[in-house]
Amino acid sequence: MNDLDYIVLAAQLAKKADKALTFENPRVGALIVKNDVILSTGYHEKFGNNHAEINAFNNLANKLDVVDATLYVTLEPCAVDGKVSSCAREISNWHLNRVVIGDLDPNPDTHGLGVEILRGAGINVTVLNTKHSFEINSEFYFYFEKRLPYVQLKLATSRNGFVSNSSDHRLKLTDYTADQDVHHERAKRSAIIIGSQTFLKDRPLLNVRYNTISHNQPLRIVIDRRARLKKFANQLDTNWLIYTEDIDFYKSFDYVLLMNDGLMGVLKDLKSKHIQSVLVEGGPTLLQSFLDENLWNEMIIYQTDHLILDGNLEVVLPKIKPIEKNHVGNSNKIIYVNSTKGNL
């Protein structure tokens, strides 16, 4: 096997990780190889826990076997201390012969620093510049390369394409199994965005309840251009943000922010707050705005088996082929990806 073959295997390991658990960290896989024998493997399993390289080292039956071995890893080892210590510095103490890296860190602040540390320790480093890490971690790369959050849209519809009926009451479309899947999607995201109408009609909690997570709950955001939430604002806790165009509302609460430059301005402001990805859950008017302005990366439709005869709200879906369809509970889960990235 050659270097590329081993990186392909490492990428397969990376895919074992659940994005809902790795959260804002990239999914990474690693192998330790010596004399064409794979001695151990590892991948990053959970946000805040050991990275792939450290797990591969810890999985060695005999730690001394690492001497003069080759480490294969899909993404450049981290160079700075964070929730865990710098992997590049730890690897420098293993007395490896080589380190083969699939791709460099897309974060401009740390790009190439891991390689610099390893080479400074006298280790032979090869960077293959493969696309495996990019394909596995599209949100992570998008955030650092475009300097904007990755935008995922989510919508539940009836079998005939409506999202609500003529009633003012909340209409529940997805069943428990589909709801579990929605919460799994929520667990992957830094923030959840809704419009003021969804807040007023549904009063959603917008948290992760059906999945166990070790990272923070997503930040909850309401787009409220006309200050319709003014009388509710003092009831919200610190994990909410409201964006408005109403100056008086903006001046009244610390967590109410002025909405400049529309939805793009909101995304730019969220990037300044280190929000890597957002899930836009509705309502249909807000989702349609993201679609119309081409400010989206991915869209998930939960097309349920319900039939709404008095429907009054629809969303114009992307005119592209979905990349994936599968059945979840009472819903067909349909996933679209905006390959052009639109105006993002």
pLDDT reported for residue 341: 63
pLDDT over 90, % of the chain: 83
Residue 314: active-site member: no
pLDDT over 70, % of the chain: 96
Instruction: Kindly report the length of the chain.
Output: 344
pLDDT reported for residue 166: 61
| Whether the Cβ atoms of residue 82 and residue 105 lie closer than 8 Å to each other | no
CA 31 to chain centre: 25
User: Is the predicted pLDDT of residue 83 greater than 70, yes or no?
Assistant: yes
Q: Given 24, 53, 281, 298, which residue is catalytic?
A: 53
pLDDT digits (tens, 9 = 90+) for 263-276: 999 999 999 999 99
Least confident of 52-61, 97-106, 199-208: 199-208
Identify which of 18, 90, 79 has the alpha carbon closest to the alpha carbon of residue 57. 90
The Cα angle at residue 271 between residues 261 and 104, in degrees rounded to 5:
135
pLDDT digits (tens, 9 = 90+) for 146-169: 999 999 999 999 888 888 766 666
- pTM, whole model, 2 decimals? 0.94
Taking residues 38-62, report their average pLDDT. Answer: 97
What is the Cα–Cα distance from 232 to 220, expressed in whole angstroms?
Answer: 14
| DSSP bridge partners of 324 | 335
In the 8-state DSSP scheme, what is residue 310?
Answer: T
* Ramachandran sector of residue 304 (left: φ over 0; alpha: ψ -120 to 50; beta: rest): beta
